[in-house]
Amino acid sequence: MLPAEQYERALEGCRAAAAAGWEILHAGGSALDAVEAAVRVLEDDPAFNAGRGSVLNAAGQVEMDAGIMDGHTGQAGAVTLIKHVRHPITLARYVMAHTPHLILGAEGAEALAPKAGCALVENDFFITPYRLKQYHRKAVSTAGDTVGAVALDAQGHLAAANSTGGVSFKYPGRIGDSPILGAGYMADSHMAAAATGQGEHIIRAGLAFLLRDLIASGFSAPQAASRATTLFLQRVPQGQAGWILLDAQGRVGIAHTTRHLPHAWRTGGEEDFVVGLRATETK
């Protein structure tokens, strides 16, 4: 759950991430490059539970997950239990592009960081005063506050990515939905989606696959995002999650069962920049 004092910072961060992705798309870059760039901005922003600013586990450490998918090629990559890589999303992309695996974790994943061009830092780098205070007060977060991005490029290709520090006071070694294809993220030639919230709820619902199936059934992104709310809660009563969805026509769908979901998107000029806290749908 996003604290009230974080609202403005979160909105500013979402806008910055959308701007970073848009700059790449506007220059003719790929959707895959755009989502990676957007998520890297959020991993560097301590207002979010990803990268620097991630929540602490029960042992007082940060453990992070990330996943990325190219809807054009169907390739995906993910990392989990990351403690020392500044940008987990970039390492996830390296796993996708340069290994035969879909998910790599812990030391095995981090050993690839130099080849991926990823900076290695001490775990303390990720711990902010806000998160440390939260930890000492035992302020348990029930929703993961994952960051995510989806994009459609000029070639009509879609991509999705997300990154997270998980949930506060999780058992060391806990893995959430972010590196799980079909749960926390998904992209193909028709849609791209990223989810946030309680990872166990998202995995049990197969949320990203659910969104894919709704698009395949003929729903637009706004319709599918809205319809998924009912189906998600049928599968996981009182489930806590939010999701962003983009279809091949560039239509945006956003929905959530949490109180707020900070978001931003851009479809053209500055006048087409949308930033908000609550679920928003386009026609």
Question: What is the CB-side half-sphere exposure of residue 16 using CA atoms within 13 A?
Answer: 16
Judge whether 230 counts as a catalytic residue.
no
Of the listed 73, 80, 90, 146, which one is catalytic? 146
CA pseudo-torsion sign 43, 47, 52, 54:
negative
Q: Distance of CA 252 to CAs 193, 238, 247, Å?
A: 10, 25, 7
Catalytic residue numbers, as ranges: 146
